Amino acid sequence: MKSILLTFICCCSFVFVNAQQKEYLITDFGAIGDGKHLNTKAIQSAINTASKNNGKLVFPKGKYVSGSLILKSNIELFLEQGAVLLGSTNPVDYKELDMPGRPESTKTDDNSQMALLVAYKASNITISGKGTIDGQGRKLALNIDSLHHSGEKIDPNYNNGRNRPNETARPKLMRLSTCKNVNITNLKLKNSACWGLSFELCSGLNLVDLDVENRAYWNNDGMDITDSKNVKVIGCNVNSADDGICLKSYYKGYCNDNIIIENCTIRSSASAIKFGTASFGGFKNVTINNIKVYDTFRSAIAIESVDGAHIENIEVSNIIAKNTGNAIFIRLGHRSGEKPGVVKDIYIHDIKVQIPFGRPDIAYDMRGPAVNFFHNPIPSSITGIPGHAVENVILENIEISCPGRASKGMAYIPLSRLDQVPNKIKDYPEFTMFGELPSWGLYVRHTKGIKLNNVTFKSEDEDFRPALIFDHVEGIELNKIDLPEAKHQQIILHNEIK
């Protein structure tokens, strides 16, 4: 890459344990693996003992029901083949962890502070094995819902539109905050009532060879990584009802830094890999490589700053996305914060995406919300806002196959009315946010320094719109652009800034 220098420091650390590490069986502390007995006190006692002795806590074959467990430093949890840690379906078994001294979030968190496994300011934690962690999230969420409707525990933020408890009322599988040297490997993780795996303000985080299925209920993200440093997500399979792998930033003055995501497979009823929506601090030095995406409703890659975050030095490569609603969505907006953030120095290359005409996630039972307006197929987009441009983006060796079949009778915007496309400066960022767009392949507005090299846009059927529109842009460089033959002009440059 010529204009963007990516530098990554491989300082993610793994915990090496002494060969004489003492093992503890949770059954020796009274845990019963019958799938019925509540084992919270027994397992917590085992965790406390193992932690004091830098020990390895072993879950033998069986089904162990538990409420919230507090992880401590210098411990390994090992689930043997056939071992299942089951989240209790009783809401009273989950408690919010006390986190004194935690930095104040820029806004009230829109995610739960409760989880099956929680930790705060702990270090040297390993969770591994050949077993399963199952949150039994649908039954748990419905029980929380019942408490609200019975009046026993009112959720003040209850979502009446979708008839569900707010995210803050529903426990996750994991909630680790301000932890160091965390290694989670080789497990099957599924069925959270909320987000699956949630990490904030952590450093030295390694998520390796995990099978994450989080489709039990609404807002079931696969993984959420917030303002953390030196993170590796390697070889994971994520199937989620909401965003697959999501980087977030809730803390002003903090950021996600030195993040590597590679060799993963993702299916999502939202976006596969997403920066945001919470974007108060920043995201920098992120590399995403060798990702397979399929049956995904929204974007294969979504990079969003709408709360003042600085996003820079990002490389995305070797992505194959099939049956995915949108290829690339890059957005600089100003939903909140004193001033808009910065989105610059992004290199996306060697990408192949196939976009269907209909909903790609139709087989999901917990599908993302449908778009509430008529529209033609929506293109990839790179958009800033007036006075604040997305800068220095390179798209190289890209192939995007679009469905075509657009109709002038459906939300038609002619080229003579390009100024009527709304800026939506304060709106929630999403590839559908502008409504109808007047191009079918790529829409670019309020940008500076955009380069396309060896980029192919295919249309399975005819589309009356041009393939590419550049509006209010400065510095466009196009090389080796392959477009289908059409009776109309396929590249439109409008209001170029000299």
- pLDDT tens track of the chain, all 498 residues? 444 444 444 444 444 445 568 999 999 999 999 999 999 999 999 999 999 999 999 999 999 999 999 999 999 999 999 999 999 999 999 998 888 888 876 555 677 889 999 999 999 999 999 999 999 999 999 999 999 999 999 999 898 877 899 999 999 999 999 999 999 999 999 999 999 999 999 999 999 999 999 999 999 999 999 999 999 999 999 999 999 999 999 999 999 999 999 999 999 999 999 999 999 999 999 999 999 999 999 999 999 999 999 999 999 999 999 999 999 999 999 999 999 999 999 999 999 999 999 889 888 888 877 777 778 999 999 999 999 999 999 999 999 999 999 999 988 999 999 999 999 999 999 999 999 999 999 999 999 999 999 999 999 999 999 999 999 999 999 999 999 998 899 999 998 887
DSSP state letters, 212-223? EEE-SSTT--SE
Report how far residue 482's alpha carbon sits from residue 214's, in angstroms, rounded to the nearest whole number: 39
How many Cβ atoms from other residues are within 10 Å of residue 211's Cβ? 16
For residue 88, how many C-alpha atoms fall within 13 Å in the half-sphere facing its CB?
20
How many Cβ atoms from other residues are within 10 Å of residue 200's Cβ? 26
Spell out the residues 6+ positions from residue 333 whose beta carbon is closer than 8 angstroms to its own. 304, 305, 306, 340, 385, 424, 425, 426, 427, 429
Report how far residue 93's alpha carbon sits from residue 147's, in angstroms, rounded to the nearest whole number: 14
Exposure string (b/e) for 51-71, b if CB count within 10 Å is 16 or more? beebbbbbbbebbbbbbbbbb
DSSP state letters, 180-202? EEEEEES-EEE--SS-SEEEES-
> What's the CATH fold of domain 21-98+111-204?
Pectate Lyase C-like (2.160.20)
Query: At 169, phi and psi to the nearest 5?
Result: -95, -5
The pTM assigned to this predicted structure is: 0.94
How many Cβ atoms from other residues are within 10 Å of residue 392's Cβ? 19
Give residue limits of the domains in the chain: 21-98+111-204, 221-498
DSSP state letters, 105-125? PSS--SS-S-EEEEEES-EEE
As given in the structure block, the two tokens for residue 284 are 């920098």
